[in-house]
Amino acid sequence: MNAIISAADLAAALARPNPPVLLDVRWQLSVAKAAGEPPFDGRAAHASGHIPGAVFVDLDRELASAPGGNGRHPLPDVEEFGAAMRRAGVSAARPVVVYDGGQGWAAARAWWLLRWTGHPDVRVLDGGLAAWEGELETAVPEPAEGDFAPAPGAVPLLDADAAGELARFGLLFDARAGERYRGDVEPIDRVGGHIPGAVSAPTTENVGPDGRFLPAAELQARFKALGAGDGREVGVYCGSGVSAAHEVLALAVAGIPAALYVGSWSEWSSDPARPVAVGPDPR
């Protein structure tokens, strides 16, 4: 099953019997902003216009638990996540399509969580809401309760120890911008740099100027040039397990399975005992 869907194919699917459940996960990374600038409000964005029938899902509250020692976006409580998905109308026998404002990171986080908890048919709208050419609605959907029962472990997950091991003996991609990988800047976390042995692979290089994924063959070539392929175990991390989910999605489009380190750099760097590498060299 393809992990992404075009806007045209989504429009056709919505017109057929048993249309997919639509989840709107618009979100933006919260960093220091100019004084007086309000933070991004995904729920307000949804209320101002969304694909008809789409239910808003809050990344910070429903796709993650509270920030802490396990990072800025730790895994949500599984039962609470399942309840949130059922409220949104998610059922095991009905396909799901997730979208965000266009960056794709938040949608990928929802895609990964649903896949990790066992949903068999989840796709991300390629290009997000910006790619949608149909009408929008402002009415708040009231979906029928779904029956989705999460069963974690359907796709691979890394903790800090496993990520460190994979960086040494397998292939661990760092999906953040190159300057954060090198440690040139670090706007959020305690210290800059990367997990020793991790390979820089910014997720922004997986998409074109329109925010849509590069063709699968181009993604395959990119990841193979970075060392993936031939059955080598692959993992991905980022700052807090959001943009890394987008890279796991890109790898899926390329036909390369990969594990996600959800805690990512926000967890790794919070422990002074864990080693940190800086500069362009993985080690």
DSSP 80: H
State residue 280 phi and psi, 5-degree precision. -80, -15
Cα 40 to Cα 38: distance, rounded to the nearest angstrom: 7
Can you tell me which residue has the tokens 């979208």? 99
Cα 121 to Cα 249: distance, rounded to the nearest angstrom: 14
CB 100 within 8 A of CB 27: yes
Q: Who's near 92: CB < 8 A, 6+ residues apart? A: 118, 119, 120, 147, 148, 149
Sign of the C-alpha dihedral computed for residues 156, 159, 164 and 165 taken in this order = negative
Closest CA to 125 of 143, 144, 106: 106
Q: CA torsion 217→222→227→230, rounded to 10°?
A: 0
Q: Which of 63, 201, 238, 249 is catalytic?
A: 238
Token representation of residue 90: 């998610």
State residue 161 phi and psi, 5-degree precision. -65, -45
Can you tell me which residue has the tokens 């292939």? 171
DSSP 280: S
Strand, helix or coil for residue 105: helix
Q: Respond yes or no: is residue 99 known to be catalytic.
A: no
The residues assigned a catalytic role are 238
